[in-house]
Amino acid sequence: MQIKHFIFCLLFIFVGIDSTDETITWNASKKLTWADFRAKPDVQSNAAALTASGITFGYSVKTSGSKIIDFSATVEAHFYPNRSWFLKDKSDDYILGHEQLHFDITELYVRKFREQLNRVHVNQNLKVQLNKLHNSVNEALNETQKRYDKQTNHSINVEMQKQWESFIAAELKALDKYKSQ
């Protein structure tokens, strides 16, 4: 029996990122600090800060002849320090909490992705299926990030910010078995 391995790595971020960029992997015991935001601030922006985060996804397919017989996948939430920035005079711990929640939302979608990958059955359309799943998760993540900023008015709506914090904490807890680190 001949076995071949194929590896496909895909990267999604809200800004253009390449695979050599420094990353911080999401970890429940390590929260972001302002020192993690190292990019030059956009002084023309109305925003106080920008979080560049996204899902890194890779998988390998095991084959026998031309038949796919197994696969494995890795999915991680990454923060990109050299693409993330803040304006010192407009930023405080409250704003940092808003930015942390963007990263936490990314982790939530990593967990959702892992849960869905757990249900995938090996078949001959596996690569197409995994890529569609990856695209679908990224679209949902992007929509949620936009909705979060819109509903909280980029953190200005304090009550809505608290609601989002509670909601994301509950969602993360519900998917705890799929958490990173």
Predicted TM-score (pTM) of the model is 0.89
Residue located via tokens 């849960």 = 115
How far is residue 126's CA from residue 131's CA, in Å, rounded to a whole number?
A: 8
Sign for the CA dihedral angle at 153, 161, 167, 107 comes to: positive
Each of the 181 residues of the chain gets a pLDDT tens digit; together they read 333 332 222 333 344 455 678 999 999 999 999 999 999 999 999 899 999 999 999 999 999 999 999 999 999 999 999 999 999 999 999 999 999 999 999 999 999 999 999 999 999 999 999 999 999 999 999 999 999 999 999 999 999 999 999 999 999 999 999 999 7
pLDDT score recorded for residue 18: 57
Q: Return the domain boundaries, the chain.
A: 3-178
**Are the C-beta atoms of 51 and 36 separated by less than 8 Å?**
no
